[in-house]
Chain A
Amino acid sequence: MGAGDLQVVAFTLQMAATATAAILVPGVAAAFFLAGYRGPGRGALETILSLPLVLPPTAVGLALLELLGRNRPVGAWLAAHGVEVVFTWKAVVLATAVMSFPLLVRSARTAFEEVDPRLVGLARTLGCGPAAAFFRVTMPLAWRGVLAGTVLAFSRALGEFGATIMVAGNIPGRTQTLALAIFHETQLGRDERAAGLAAVTVALAFAALWLTEWLVRRRSRTEGA
């Protein structure tokens, strides 16, 4: 692998990590809220949050363009304040964050739902306020599932293509991730190079998913079903 390829790999990891870090707190908060919320509109909220999972990534990319294009309301406002999103790395982070968000929320929500709510109630009677109960009981029991969700989201972020290419473009050195680079190499007719890059993505994805599985398995063993 040449220096240029290393740059692409490093850039991809950087972008995926940034996107994952960006969705971590909102994702965990949303998951926690959904796990406990039984009120009206719960189904609708869950569905909306899950949409990027099922929609074609290009549709998501289009929606983001409609929002953030220079001639669109949010984009124009941002541009007026000197912030460019479309065709920059910020668009890469945004597109991957949106596509990965539902994966984190789903996994974390399952993890939170598996925490016996009576244990939380007991913690309250023992003197914990809601926040203390969350950090002292809920999180210690749910953290493996939350972490697994985070790693899953990160893996998804590594491979994001459809939304990314629409909002960030495929600009070598500036917005070109591994997935975009593979596509670019095929555009140039350089199929062997494309295959090489694809092999790298397989290795990264394999490592990330294997870690997720290991975390999930450890959880069911140590805490006892």
Chain B
Amino acid sequence: MSGVVEIDVTLPLPRFALRVEATLPAGVTAVMGPSGAGKTSLLESVAGLRGATGRVAVGGEPLLDTARGVSLPPERRRVGYVPQDSGLFPHLSVLGNVRFGARADHGAVEAAIDTLEIRPLLDRRPLTLSGGERQRVALARALATRPRLLLLDEPLAALDVRLRERVLPWLLRVRDEWALPCVYVTHNVGEALAVASHLVVMREGRVEAAGEPRALLGAPALAAEAEAGIENLMPGHVVSHDDAGGITRVRTEAGLDVAVTLSAARPPGTPVTLAIRAEDVLVATGPVTGLSARNAYAGRLLAIDRTGVDVTLRCALDAGGAEMLARITPAAVASLGLRPGGPVWLAVKSHSIRLL
């Protein structure tokens, strides 16, 4: 029961009514949907910043229960909120910000600073920080209050792609080290896949779909909103380095052997996550030879989905059954004569794989 978030709220909004009923299992739940679907209003209602009616409970404890006359004010809900633009207090230093809600709990403050690795920044003022640094401080500030639920409103959206990839690891650390139930609003499919174990899709104030992220991935609703992000994320660990060959070998949890460009800083055994863009995946109808790409895998095509002007192919690799997404043009689909259920070979250059 602990960590389970029950939501059943109603809130009138200008264009429609927010009416969300969902039970989120412990762990990170990603919330996706078009702009204006009510995602932020949902977070605000859970945090108590907006007056919704209904019921919100975390681990069985009610934050809101209109039927029983319970409506905790925000300061009593112990919900950590990290907005899109970090919302740091400009008149306080980084340390002042992190300590803001912690009262006497030095332990939580120190743990938050360590997790987000912001100790060198403590004396700085928010205005002097980069976007990524600000998000980390905002996260630390929320964590330092030992919240029972974390709400993240598109925390990486204001960052450029490169910065996003650098902050993502900290999000993963927070998830792993703090074990808090977390609701994570995002437009980015890659982030959702990397971080969340549960996915809720919203449209016009209602839940349109809910379930396991990978399963919902091809859904038209998501496809329409998905940014060009990192669709293929595979956790694994470093196996060995080949200095002469300039590659590092990684084995994914699903049993796939992948060669990436040399990253000697990570010793063998280091857990890593591989990130491959769908559009970097080459598709062939037969085994590939004489190709520079170091990574080629046989598999079967599961589904063909139109995503805007492109086509996304969902494939299952023979090795370990891992799934991989490839993005190609409709012309390619036609000329290759691809059909669901048919065999495919996927190839990825070492340079196209990023290590997280």
Chain A interfacial positions (CB closer than 8 Å to B): 116, 118-119, 121-129, 132, 136-137, 140-141, 223-224
- Give the size category of B's interface with A: 20 to 34
Interface centre among A119, A122, A123, A141 (most CB of B within 10 A): A122
Q: Are B90 and A125 in contact (CB under 8 A)?
A: no
**11 chain-A/chain-B pairs, Cβ below 8 angstroms:** A121-B44, A121-B47, A121-B49, A122-B87, A123-B101, A125-B75, A125-B79, A125-B80, A126-B142, A127-B78, A132-B75
Q: Please, how many angstroms separate the alpha-carbon atoms of A116 and B88 in the complex? A: 11
B248 within 8 A of A: no
- Minimal beta-carbon separation of A119 from chain B (angstroms): 6
Q: Which of B87, B141, B145 has the most CB of A within 10 A?
A: B87
Chain A residue with Cβ nearest B76: A127
Q: Mark B112-148, 1 if CB is under 8 A from A, else 0.
A: 0000000000000001000000000000011001000
Considering residues B49, B74, B81, B87, which has the most beta carbons from chain A within 10 angstroms of its beta carbon?
A: B74
Q: Which residue of B79, B81, B87, B91 contacts A140 across the interface (Cβ within 8 Å)?
A: B91
Chain B residue numbers with a CB within 8 Å of A118 are 83, 87
Report the nearest B residue to A141, measured CB to CB. Answer: B91
B103 within 8 A of A: yes
Task: State whether A127 and B87 are in contact (beta carbons under 8 Å apart), knowing that A121-B49, A122-B81, A224-B127 are contacts in the complex.
Answer: no
Interface centre among A119, A123, A124, A223 (most CB of B within 10 A): A124
A124-B74, A126-B101 known; A223+B91 contact, CB < 8 A: yes
B residues in contact (CB < 8 Å) with A = 44, 47-49, 73-75, 77-81, 83, 87, 89-91, 100-101, 103, 127, 141-142, 145
Minimal Cβ-Cβ distance residue in A for B80: A125
Whether the Cβ atoms of B145 and A122 lie closer than 8 Å is no
Chain A hits for B127, CB < 8 A: 224
Q: Would B80 and A127 count as touching, CB distance under 8 A?
A: no
Q: Which 4 A-B pairs have the closest CB atoms?
A: A126-B101, A124-B74, A127-B101, A125-B81
- Nearest CB in chain B: distance from A224 CB, A: 5
- Looking at A123, A124, A125, A127, which has the most chain B CB atoms within 10 Å of its CB? A125
In Å, the complex CA distance between A216 and B223 comes to 49
A123 contacts B73, C-beta separation under 8 Å: no
Contact B87 A119 (CB under 8 A): yes
List B contacts of A128 (CB < 8 A): 75, 101
- Say yes or no: A127 contacts B145, CB within 8 Å: yes
Q: Which residues of B contact A132 (CB under 8 A)?
A: 75
Report the minimal beta-carbon distance from B19 to chain A, rounded to whole angstroms: 23
B145 touches which of A119, A126, A129, A224 (Cβ 8 Å): A126
- Cβ of B147 to closest chain A Cβ, rounded Å: 8
- Of A125, A129, A136, the residue contacting B49 (CB under 8 A) is A125
Verify A125–B74 contact, CB threshold 8 A: yes
